[in-house]
Structure 1
């Protein structure tokens, strides 16, 4: 199905279903693409039902795949203009063809101009080492390589003035030790002799070449729609400062390739509040990019793709074209089934908007180091993801920037993670949120006494008495057993007022464990219950005196998650969606007019072998999942599944309630209003 261009005068087209077709092919392999058949190529993508395929002009080997006079043209192409043939095969099908260009990886340039290669602190060339084998060398963008790259892009534009867009890959910040890098840092006012100065300088270099390339490729594609531009490998924690470079975001996250299964849903919820024009990206490889001799499990592909669709965004699946130029039927079959499932859901939910009621204020981070590591969720973010998604409380991550008040607009509940510095502007924003009827949960005490008092009504009275202490739920207010659960640390002491509801108190150990004075294997047992509050609710504000979410995220103790859920429910009792199912279940809500769409995902990543990787082999059957959708006065006339099966329902207390069982991994519950 061809999706209409979004605007002939406005924004570039944003794909719904896309393939990112890798073709990193060594010049030592020759000939290449000898089995390429334009008709077979077109028929394959017609089967997949995609609306975009990212195709290669230049790969990591630094080789070009079109009919050019430049010496970098791949020597194995013979007389074939591969990229033009690919574009011309897909265009009649309404499939857009953004063009891929590798930036910091270019083996041809590194070999012919070793002076362009970045150096480390010891003066050695910087390169990646997958599995201990030397790999790609990293180019220095302060060298003349930047002009060489610009000339290549100019050549691509001369041959493809009808290009739909550009995907620039490997655009991370590379701190430099070359003479040109040091000189550039000094000229820009940064200290090349400090790590911070080198990082700031490298970021400025990235911004400089990104702006240059963006301006070079600006224009319109073959149908008059503005070109898309995307720079990959950028830290999403810096997205708010880099919005002007890319027209959209592609959230690269191959779970079995090192990203893990928490990365994509966490980063997506950080991206979407800032850049709603986004899509997820996974891969058909069992492992990561380059693992072309493997297949991603079908259930894993479905899970990763439908997870992004449940957040209201499209999906891109990475593939690899073999050197001979013809894809394997096994790959096509697997992708076809995945894209068909995605298309079926997208067509039913077209035009629906995601309902994210909760804003989770996370520590800002600095975006240092490898992008995968810099953007990965910490303990608090991971806890929020696991706690909220399983209950249908969809949320976004926001950073405590100066515009926090604007960021919080529209959210009914706010969760503040430990480590967030709350300045005067942030306190005013949170106070205004509560005054306007919103709810607030604070994980860990703000350091400033005035902030603590103004937000929570609590007064700090002392430090923890022991290195490790215990939290005891109060059954009367939490409905949890009064068992003493050990914490990773201690609990600061606070004083409360009479209008505070205490959900949990502190229990102290008999004594602190030392090398000379200990009892048991790991920590001294709980010995002395106290009246010191650990978790409290006051009006529409819940506060844990210790980092409750972070404690759950770092230990995995289920009761800590339950205690956090009780605290949040105490201040946010009527969410738009409630789901009662297994702990691994993920639920999100979308709405279009009077129709609500509830996405239920039932997959469970697991590690099954010695390989340090989690994957998904089968969906997990879900039985008797209770779903409650707040209808806000809209009278529901029908509740059904995606397949059209009617579900019995009732309306009570402003919620339409139903129970559903499914074994396909994804279930879409459609609540149709009058």
Structure 2
């Protein structure tokens, strides 16, 4: 990660042709002074915006320079003054949204089954969201545009390209149909059309990367789709690095970044996280995010192994907001102090969580994160486990435990891989439908036989001294229907209890479900050697209702399998921990973050207050390693610790938001 800058700004400049005097107040020296004062060391600036206008003295298409751009050299002057001050300037251009193209080349737009243009955002006109088809004459137009940037800016002045808006789309145009037929795909089938779109995107990226890398071999190249997942894996060679756009208040929420980053960091590419200074979404002019929220978002990037990028939008007059850069500078000042302890580190993880996204239908239009994965991420973070999100192709032996959250499809090869892993001492936890073969009555990985869905929409579990240790020894409701399984080679760790009846037909009781009949039902949790199975969708259930008893049941299951937990503390469940290792020295870097998200508005979650924690006790597993010191970073203040067998114990007297510790 050492080649990427950790304190970046992504400076949007989507500027309407109806706004006059564009760039009139831009002063290069003032621009760079503001950036330097805000501790910014890389800023992505615009060659072309979603409106379709250019912000440099184009040689190829001077007619597309913004009609009211007073300084035709805007991009060139931004690059020149930043480079003089050791600030990198990747160049932004749009790919599949362009207002000019929509108006003047409708033949290049994607169309739906009815022949209507595809509006990927669902926003009523006016907008620039009609999606461009990359199978059209636009592809050559785009390459000519890139060549124009290279010729105008000059190779030696180009740091990289941020190529924005590349989405799979259900296009029904003639060109896509022709290419689908050549590949033997059914043009009448929606899944086939969307699947073809993913293939076409990969071909486009490969063509553009070859085009750029032969002309500007040193330049960074990133294609932005607002998400990174298993679908990116086959085209990773076309990226020099990854940038993870995830504005919590802009539609992504606070669940997207940790789930996506914990997967992205396993792909072998340097990564930048991206949030925004906006209170809501991009284009939210004259708004400022709460500083506590921006702190958490940036420090969480560092904790999970990414550099930082903060989105801003330059006012049409070309002048940066003083308030925005005081906000950014306040956070980046802290990042500057600690970034050397984050560069060249790798995450330390004891658990690998399989991502359901790997098992989405290839032509599925769903870009979201499955509720089961969100529930798993929340639960494991709150319990202070160290984990990655993984796909089935990785080496399972890198993890002490593999978790299959609720909906991992059955596949014989995956079952065999997990069985081999378990035979060699690995631990496995599966839940609900994960790796359950509903078409077979043979004993499965869990030592059970699938019988069918539970008869009850809601039943209950009965805690005991193995699962549910800290719970009352009476029934707890499970809000989602589970599966009925028959233990054959497994032992039952927890039983369900049946309700009197379902709320259906003529039977009902009170306001919701019927109470316990106090009659045992099916098995709720089973164990087959070092493999534990939950018959309920416990992670989706936690995402939906967050019952604490589900979290404590899962903790007991993990503790039943794992001998040594890497990081434990006596703080609240809102205290998040992330453990990394310095690749050069082997030192452990522990991040602890305590910021509480709240939904004070109707639309968004945010963070406003930092609530300090005092005298927080930590317990870390170090094995046979001899620990020399524990220090708070960046001050290098020594923290007293004691050794207890294979663990060390220490106390952080006061924590305000974020603390980093180095364990040598």
Residue 185 of structure 1 and its aligned partner are, at CA, apart by 3.0
Residue 202 of structure 1 and its aligned partner are, at CA, apart by 2.1
Measured against aligned partners, the alpha-carbon deviations of 1:529-582 in whole angstroms (never above 9, x if no partner) come to: 327431134442222123322322232111011101110111013022223321
CA, structure 1 residues 139+156, in 2 after alignment: closer, same or farther (shift >3 Å)? same
Q: TM-score, normalised by structure 2?
A: 0.92
Check the 8 A contact 1:549/1:564 in 2, yes or no.
Answer: no
Greater Cα shift, 424-433 or 596-605: 424-433
Match of 2:289 among 284, 287, 296: 296
Residue 54 of structure 1 and its aligned partner are, at CA, apart by 1.0
Q: 1:597 aligns to what?
A: 589
CA, structure 1 residues 134+77, in 2 after alignment: closer, same or farther (shift >3 Å)? closer
Q: 1:243 aligns to what?
A: 236
Check the 8 A contact 2:352/2:388 in 1, yes or no.
Answer: yes
| Mapped pair 1:481 → 2:475 | no
Measured against aligned partners, the alpha-carbon deviations of 1:173-225 in whole angstroms (never above 9, x if no partner) come to: 2222333333333344332222122212322332232222211111576xxx7
Check the 8 A contact 1:167/1:231 in 2, yes or no.
Answer: yes
| Mapped pair 1:466 → 2:456 | yes
CA, structure 1 residues 481+100, in 2 after alignment: closer, same or farther (shift >3 Å)? same
Check the 8 A contact 1:253/1:264 in 2, yes or no.
Answer: yes
Match of 2:220 among 203, 228, 237: 228
CA, structure 1 residues 513+154, in 2 after alignment: closer, same or farther (shift >3 Å)? same
CA, structure 1 residues 612+452, in 2 after alignment: closer, same or farther (shift >3 Å)? farther
Greater Cα shift, 280-289 or 440-449: 440-449
Secondary structure of 2:262's counterpart equals helix
| Mapped pair 1:536 → 2:526 | yes
| Mapped pair 1:74 → 2:62 | no
- Equivalent-residue separation in structure 1 for 2:123 and 2:44 (angstroms): 28
Check the 8 A contact 1:157/1:217 in 2, yes or no.
Answer: no
- Equivalent-residue separation in structure 1 for 2:535 and 2:8 (angstroms): 46
Greater Cα shift, 349-358 or 329-338: 349-358
CA, structure 1 residues 541+188, in 2 after alignment: closer, same or farther (shift >3 Å)? closer
- Equivalent-residue separation in structure 2 for 1:281 and 1:565 (angstroms): 32
Residue 244 of structure 1 and its aligned partner are, at CA, apart by 2.2
Check the 8 A contact 2:350/2:386 in 1, yes or no.
Answer: yes
Match of 1:411 among 393, 399, 417: 399
Residue 427 of structure 1 and its aligned partner are, at CA, apart by 2.0
Q: 2:544 aligns to what?
A: 554
Residue 469 of structure 1 and its aligned partner are, at CA, apart by 1.2
Secondary structure of 2:445's counterpart equals helix
| Mapped pair 1:441 → 2:433 | no
CA, structure 1 residues 37+583, in 2 after alignment: closer, same or farther (shift >3 Å)? same
Match of 1:641 among 616, 632, 650: 632
CA, structure 1 residues 236+490, in 2 after alignment: closer, same or farther (shift >3 Å)? closer
- Equivalent-residue separation in structure 2 for 1:220 and 1:634 (angstroms): 49
Q: 1:19 aligns to what?
A: 9
- Equivalent-residue separation in structure 1 for 2:222 and 2:511 (angstroms): 53
Match of 2:611 among 617, 620, 636: 620
Secondary structure of 2:525's counterpart equals strand
Residue 80 of structure 1 and its aligned partner are, at CA, apart by 3.2
CA, structure 1 residues 662+286, in 2 after alignment: closer, same or farther (shift >3 Å)? same
- Equivalent-residue separation in structure 2 for 1:36 and 1:139 (angstroms): 32
Q: 2:55 aligns to what?
A: 65
Check the 8 A contact 2:443/2:488 in 1, yes or no.
Answer: no
Residue 461 of structure 1 and its aligned partner are, at CA, apart by 5.7
Q: 1:509 aligns to what?
A: 499
- Equivalent-residue separation in structure 2 for 1:523 and 1:578 (angstroms): 37
Residue 90 of structure 1 and its aligned partner are, at CA, apart by 0.8
| Mapped pair 1:117 → 2:86 | no
Check the 8 A contact 1:127/1:135 in 2, yes or no.
Answer: no
Greater Cα shift, 390-399 or 145-154: 390-399
Q: TM-score, normalised by structure 1?
A: 0.91
Secondary structure of 1:218's counterpart equals helix
| Mapped pair 1:670 → 2:662 | yes
Q: 1:10 aligns to what?
A: none
Residue 249 of structure 1 and its aligned partner are, at CA, apart by 1.2
Check the 8 A contact 1:167/1:232 in 2, yes or no.
Answer: yes
Q: 1:145 aligns to what?
A: 138
Greater Cα shift, 294-303 or 571-580: 571-580
| Mapped pair 1:190 → 2:185 | yes
- Equivalent-residue separation in structure 1 for 2:91 and 2:364 (angstroms): 25
Residue 626 of structure 1 and its aligned partner are, at CA, apart by 2.6
Greater Cα shift, 208-217 or 317-326: 208-217
CA, structure 1 residues 349+175, in 2 after alignment: closer, same or farther (shift >3 Å)? closer
Residue 145 of structure 1 and its aligned partner are, at CA, apart by 1.8
Check the 8 A contact 2:348/2:580 in 1, yes or no.
Answer: yes
Residue 293 of structure 1 and its aligned partner are, at CA, apart by 2.1
Secondary structure of 2:339's counterpart equals helix
- Matched positions, count: 650
Secondary structure of 1:385's counterpart equals helix
1:384-463 equivalence runs, <5 A: 384-400=376-392, 403=393, 406-444=394-432, 446-448=435-437, 453=443, 455-460=445-450
Measured against aligned partners, the alpha-carbon deviations of 1:502-541 in whole angstroms (never above 9, x if no partner) come to: 4421100112222411111111111123274311344422
Measured against aligned partners, the alpha-carbon deviations of 1:129-173 in whole angstroms (never above 9, x if no partner) come to: 676453113222222222211111111111132211111101112
1:86-105 equivalence runs, <5 A: 86-105=78-97
| Mapped pair 1:283 → 2:271 | no
Q: 1:213 aligns to what?
A: 208
Gaps of 5+ in 1: 7-12
RMSD: 2.4
- Equivalent-residue separation in structure 1 for 2:361 and 2:51 (angstroms): 28
- Equivalent-residue separation in structure 2 for 1:257 and 1:60 (angstroms): 18
Measured against aligned partners, the alpha-carbon deviations of 1:265-312 in whole angstroms (never above 9, x if no partner) come to: 101112111243211110111111111221111111111111110012
Measured against aligned partners, the alpha-carbon deviations of 1:607-658 in whole angstroms (never above 9, x if no partner) come to: 113x221111122322443311112222223323224443332211311112
- Equivalent-residue separation in structure 2 for 1:606 and 1:369 (angstroms): 35
Match of 1:167 among 162, 168, 180: 162
- Equivalent-residue separation in structure 2 for 1:332 and 1:490 (angstroms): 51
Residue 602 of structure 1 and its aligned partner are, at CA, apart by 0.7
- Equivalent-residue separation in structure 2 for 1:369 and 1:256 (angstroms): 28
Measured against aligned partners, the alpha-carbon deviations of 1:233-255 in whole angstroms (never above 9, x if no partner) come to: 16523021221221211111001
| Mapped pair 1:495 → 2:487 | yes
- Equivalent-residue separation in structure 1 for 2:314 and 2:214 (angstroms): 28
